[in-house]
Amino acid sequence: MIQWGEMAPYLLGLRLDGRRVLVVGGGRVAQRRVPALLDAGASITLVSPSVTPALDDLIADGRVVWERRPYQPGDCDGVWLVQACTSNRDANTAIAAEAEAKRIWCVRADDKDASAAWTPASGRVDEVSVAITAGGDPRRAAGIRDAVVSALRDGTVDARRHRTKPVGVALVGGGPGDPGLITVRGRQLLAQADVVVADRLAPRSLLDELPPDVELIDAAKVPYGRFLSQERINELLVEHAKAGRFVVRLKGGDPFVFGRGGEEMIACAKAGVPVMVVPGITSAVAVPAAAGVPVTHRGVSQDFHVVSVHVPPGHPDSTVDWKGLARSQGTLILLMAVERLAEIAETLQGDGRSPETPVMVVQDGTLPTQRAVIATLSTVAERVTAAGLRPPAIVIVGDVVGVGQEIEMVRAERVP
């Protein structure tokens, strides 16, 4: 049996598209190796008396040729790479010896020291492939691989040095506030930006991580305070993109849920600027969840309605069917509603909602400063004023608030 020395391996990316690869063994090791080989385009022959159900699916799809028998001499003929994955050490030794005699690279799953090649822990982010060997220790290699891939995905590793970087504008949903709730794609694009145009409700801590050469434009729209018009925001997106800079429009929540993302997309399209949309986690669902309230629950609510209350009920500009919402048994999620709670509660009660309907108001949802008030439709305006809750806050109206309270009670009883 060949024992290899302590020299470091020479890492090489094999282009296996259309080339034959032999896999001997049909157990869990082969189950892990075969999909990666298929992703590389390899033509796989699998030799084993039996296979796992997952491998059986790949065989049924015609992606793998299965020789239902043990290994036999000559199986290595005409292949470019061999994976010896049986549970029989003697069989793996024989497979490796035949491959060595025929000058074919062979990976032994059972003995790293006797293996002519190692299968690295690998990962891929866009066009970047990562392969880690860690001296043949698969657990350590996988841990390092995961850390590197994670850093590439979230932009921790400098993503701005790409030869080819995105162009135009990306409308990125930053999520409900907690910086950990931005999507992987959103964080990745943020790390590649030349210019970031940020909303007041975008996750601010992410902005502190931007390199010093990134231009940050504050597009905050503070109620009754400083205000950057939507028209000017549209102009800034187009101006910077046409100057060759990659622009990220970072928004709270989702760009298309009361985020005016559609208007920005139209402005870019009219100007001939490429624009992409990265969906975000909307606060309409995330904040109730963070407060322990499911927006739907079997036997309680089969539907939920998300409403922007930037104008009050009865206002000429309102398109909300308040009478229909009052008659509905579904959950109401109200955004931009805190300062109009008295009018909303009066309207809903006047149109048929019970004054005893449970209501929860959650301020700073998903953030460390999150706090909430629970009341009824008849008392919520007074209770919120007394507690001093202010925007940004989400108002949840419906019996699901009671489900959230039940969950909290169960949790409290389970605490030792």
Q: Report the pLDDT value the prediction gives residue 203, as an integer from 0 to 100.
A: 85
Yes or no: say if 94 and 71 are a contact pair by the CB < 8 Å rule: yes
Inform me whether the pLDDT recorded for 164 exceeds 70: no
> Cα(234)–Cα(269) distance, rounded to whole angstroms?
11
Inform me whether the pLDDT recorded for 244 exceeds 70: yes
Inform me whether the pLDDT recorded for 75 exceeds 90: yes
Q: Which of 45-49, 132-136, 288-292, 320-324 bottoms out in mean pLDDT, i.e. has the lowest? A: 132-136
Q: Report the pLDDT value the prediction gives residue 10, as an integer from 0 to 100.
A: 84
CA 151 to chain centre: 14
Buried b (16+ CB within 10 A) or exposed e, 207-242: beebeeebeebebeeeeeeeebeeeebbebbbebbe
Instruction: State both tokens at 390.
Output: 């202010």
Yes or no: say if 131 and 13 are a contact pair by the CB < 8 Å rule: yes
Instruction: State both tokens at 70.
Output: 């043990």
Averaged pLDDT for residues 351-370: 94
Known catalytic residue at 102: no
Q: Which of 66-75, 162-171, 185-194, 238-247 bottoms out in mean pLDDT, i.e. has the lowest? A: 162-171
Yes or no: say if 219 and 196 are a contact pair by the CB < 8 Å rule: no
pLDDT band at 161 (very low <50, low <70, confident <90, very high): low
Q: Report the pLDDT value the prediction gives residue 318, as an integer from 0 to 100.
A: 92
pLDDT tens figures, 273-331? 999 999 999 999 999 999 999 999 999 999 999 999 999 999 999 999 999 999 998 99
Inform me whether the pLDDT recorded for 2 exceeds 70: no
Inform me whether the pLDDT recorded for 22 exceeds 80: yes
The strand pairing partners of 22, in sequence order, are: 45, 82
Averaged pLDDT for residues 388-401: 94
Q: Report the pLDDT value the prediction gives residue 175, as an integer from 0 to 100.
A: 94
Fold of 168-273: Cobalt-precorrin-4 Transmethylase; domain 1 (3.40.1010)
> Cα(406)–Cα(166) distance, rounded to whole angstroms?
47
Inform me whether the pLDDT recorded for 155 exceeds 70: no
Averaged pLDDT for residues 372-398: 95
Averaged pLDDT for residues 133-145: 81
Fold of 20-119: Rossmann fold (3.40.50)
> Cα(129)–Cα(85) distance, rounded to whole angstroms?
24
Other Cβ atoms within 10 Å of 247 Cβ, number: 29
User: Parallel, antiparallel, or unpaired: how do β-strands 393-397 and 331-335 relate?
Assistant: antiparallel
Q: Report the pLDDT value the prediction gives residue 158, as an integer from 0 to 100.
A: 59
The residue ranking higher by pLDDT, 288 or 202, is 288
Q: Report the pLDDT value the prediction gives residue 134, as an integer from 0 to 100.
A: 80
Angle between helices 380-387 and 341-350 (to 10 degrees): 170
Of 146, 221, 323, 351, catalytic: 221
Averaged pLDDT for residues 224-247: 87
> 284-406 falls under which CATH superfamily?
Tetrapyrrole methylase, C-terminal domain (3.30.950.10)
> Cα(241)–Cα(168) distance, rounded to whole angstroms?
5
What mean pLDDT, rounded, does the chain reach? 89
Averaged pLDDT for residues 325-342: 94
Averaged pLDDT for residues 220-230: 65
Known catalytic residue at 303: no
Averaged pLDDT for residues 386-401: 94
Inform me whether the pLDDT recorded for 194 exceeds 60: yes
% of the chain at pLDDT higher than 90: 64
Yes or no: say if 58 and 64 are a contact pair by the CB < 8 Å rule: yes
Of 75, 110, 194, 199, catalytic: 199
Question: 357 Cβ partners below 8 Å, 6+ apart?
Answer: 348, 376, 377, 397, 398, 399
Task: Give me the residue spans of the domains in the chain.
Answer: 20-119, 130-160, 168-273, 284-406
Please give the angle made by the CA atoms of 310, 316 and 320, to the nearest 5 degrees: 55
